[in-house]
Structure 1
């Protein structure tokens, strides 16, 4: 039971274990840092290199029934355009203000002209029926990824709100390999979440699924029933969307 007495005892234990001069919060941070540092030593062979992080990231996502493809920066737009056409996608929701969305739109025009694109430019009230009834897939760019759990870190904004990854039956997420972190603790430290977290941060670890009905797992009940993840490799520079999202998060 959460009582004032229980909280007082917990804070007292933190104060007692804290180094001289450290506040209870600082002491807790230090214990968390020490825990993950020890764990990282144990998992060094698995997550230390970018290649290892990509492999673990792919392994965990595929275990959650996501489809993961690694592709180079020049190759992924055309490859994805062709795959969307082969899958029978007719209408794609995406943000063309970012470099990745613009590249995909150009590739679709060249390799899959039958696929129409739609941007999230109007208030949802004016096109809700169109969104739910006619959009086959949504494309987003993840801020980063967590290799240990196969998790995408997405920061929605006005051009690509949460709806883009939630409503269409197929969600395509792109993440740059150089933004993959070993785990959540590494992401928090490297991206300096403590300096100002985004107001809306979404973590995705596979397609939508539920086991509420007769304890049988069903996909797509509360969101996309399929998730494609494109891991862009061979890119030594942090992509524009991550920079933009990080700046937005700090400002908010």
Structure 2
């Protein structure tokens, strides 16, 4: 028997003859204080995100590619990384072609080992989707997939994120229940409230230390 098996066996024997403590979890404790009228969810999320240096824009499903193109052009970004295997990635490609947008698009369509240096050293911005948002904390939910890996939202200095207004929930508990997180999660689910920042060095706040220095959220209203 291995050391690991010995430890587990001891733990199991230590529970013999004991009675489990009754589950007295009160759902109201983690929902009621953090619930909001529907019309207040987006304003609260924007207020909290903008307070920590995040840029937010309200748009709609037909107009966000034009807004993205304008923001990319105004910032003078030399390129934009997209995931061509996603619906929003394909929409960007179509809009760029139809309107002759000059900023080059990069596709995350190969193993990272084949272009790691280019991603880390020569990729200015990226666009990703999100699973949703949380009004109580002003957070985005990033849910990496094979088409849209974690590196897309982690490495480029500027991160554009698409957020559906209908997917903004009141609190974290509601998100877990709605998406059944207990039944299965990716290896890396993330809650992001703003650009990367740190004050570890001489207590001076610096952005972009461990990820993007700019986070721009495009909130897609249903109307």
Q: Which band: TM-score by shorter chain?
A: 0.7 to 0.9
Q: Secondary structure at the match of 2:32?
A: helix
Tell me the CA shift for residue 134 of structure 1. Answer: 1.5
Q: 2: CA distance between counterparts of 1:82 and 1:109?
A: 15
Match of residue 49, structure 2, among 33, 38, 61: 61
Q: Secondary structure at the match of 1:115?
A: coil
Match of residue 67, structure 2, among 79, 84, 94: 79
Tell me the CA shift for residue 35 of structure 1. Answer: 0.6
Off by >4 Å, runs of 4+ in structure 1 = none
Tell me the CA shift for residue 197 of structure 1. Answer: 2.2
Tell me the CA shift for residue 121 of structure 1. Answer: 1.5
Residue 128 (1) aligns with residue 116 (2)? yes
Do 2:73 and 2:103's aligned partners in 1 also have CA atoms closer than 8 Å?
yes
Q: 2: CA distance between counterparts of 1:37 and 1:200?
A: 25
Q: Which residue of 2 aligns with 1:118?
A: 106
Tell me the CA shift for residue 108 of structure 1. Answer: 2.4
The one of the two structures with greater contact order (alpha-carbon pairs below 8 A, sep at least 6) is 2
Q: 2: CA distance between counterparts of 1:76 and 1:34?
A: 37
Q: Secondary structure at the match of 1:189?
A: helix
Q: Provide, for residues 119-143 of structure 1, a one-character-per-residue CA deviation record: whole Å limited to 9, x for no partner.
A: 1112222212211222110110001
Do 1:82 and 1:111's aligned partners in 2 also have CA atoms closer than 8 Å?
no
Match of residue 99, structure 1, among 87, 90, 96: 87
Q: Which residue of 2 aligns with 1:171?
A: 159
Tell me the CA shift for residue 112 of structure 1. Answer: 5.4
Q: Secondary structure at the match of 1:173?
A: strand
Q: 2: CA distance between counterparts of 1:117 and 1:227?
A: 19
Residues 34 and 173 of structure 1, relative CA distance in 2, 3 Å threshold: same
Q: 1: CA distance between counterparts of 2:86 and 2:126?
A: 15
Match of residue 30, structure 2, among 36, 45, 70: 36
Q: 1: CA distance between counterparts of 2:31 and 2:158?
A: 37
* Structure that is richer in helix per residue: 1
Q: Secondary structure at the match of 1:52?
A: helix
TM-score under structure 1 length normalisation: 0.77
Query: Where in structure 2 are there 5+ consecutive unaligned residues?
Result: 1-10
Residue 195 (1) aligns with residue 189 (2)? no
Q: Which residue of 2 aligns with 1:158?
A: 146
Q: 2: CA distance between counterparts of 1:191 and 1:94?
A: 25
Query: Where in structure 1 are there 5+ consecutive unaligned residues?
Result: 19-26, 236-252
Q: 1: CA distance between counterparts of 2:78 and 2:31?
A: 47
Q: Which residue of 1 aligns with 2:37?
A: 48
Q: Which residue of 2 aligns with 1:108?
A: 96
